[in-house]
Every structure is written in C-alpha cells, then in structure tokens.
Amino acid sequence: MSALPEKPSAGPTGDLPAPRTAEGAIQRYEQYLHALGREDIDKVCKVAGPAAQKPQDQGLGPCTSTYAIVFQMISPAQKKALQTATVDPQRIAVRTPGKIEMPVEAVRASAAFSESDLGSYTLEYLKNDWYITD
C-alpha cells in the first residue's frame, strides 16, 4: 500500500488576503471607523496609510501627526458613535471590483456626521487588503 500525499491544512495560515468584495471593503472601513472612535492611531494609519501619504508628501507630516489633529476635531459624542458605527451596503458605490466609494451618508451611527467632519472615502484593494486611498 503506497502512502498518500498529505493534504494541505484547511485551517488558517496566518495573514490571508482580505476578500476582494464589497463586504470585505465594508468590514475594513468599519474597522477604520471604530479605530477612529477609539483614537487607535496605529490601526487608523494602517488602513488610511495610502490616503495619508498625499498630505505627507505636501509637507504636512506623517499619518500619526495628521490624525492626531483629526482626533481633536471629532467631538466626544462622535467618537463614541464611531466605535459602533456600521456601513449601509445600499449606500456605497462600487466603481470597479477593486475600488469602492464610501459616502458619509453610508455611515450608520448614533451621532450625525457631515462631509466636513467625517467625509466620504474611496477604498481600493491593494496588496491583498482594502485601504483608504482618497
């Protein structure tokens, strides 16, 4: 009887690529919103890194300093609301399979947000995950 080759494990193998779906983009954006509400600078900059690179290139400093300013502009009630915010999938705009727009109107939270205090964002699928690029 010959030995059968071992099957690869079906379990998680560490950092798997994020799903390249609207649901994957929504999940990643919700992680960003929750991190913004908690003032989790590391998580915020991980997700918003590509978008934060533009102001950095213009001399405004790295993501950690620009978001430190953003945290000060969000009211305590808004920060609390962001910690549990969700995204309404009916209100997002799928431009391509790898580019999704998240308008401020798609954010569902216990506090109101406008274009001036939260804004709308574009997420793009780069390097096996979703990132805010604009």
Task: Report which residue type is found at 131.
Answer: Y
Report if residue 68 sits inside a domain.
yes
Question: Each residue of 92-118: pLDDT tens digit?
Answer: 999 999 999 999 999 999 999 999 889
Record the pTM. 0.85
| pLDDT reported for residue 76 | 96
Query: What confidence score (pLDDT) does residue 14 get?
Result: 53
Q: How many domains does the chain have?
A: 1
Q: Residue 87 burial (CB < 10 Å; 0-12/13-18/19+)?
A: buried
The CATH code of the domain that includes 91 is 3.10.450
Whether the per-residue pLDDT at 3 is higher than 50: the answer is: no
Q: Look at residue 49 and tell me if it is in a domain.
A: yes
Instruction: Considering only residues 8 and 62, tell me which one the structure prediction assigns the higher pLDDT.
Output: 62
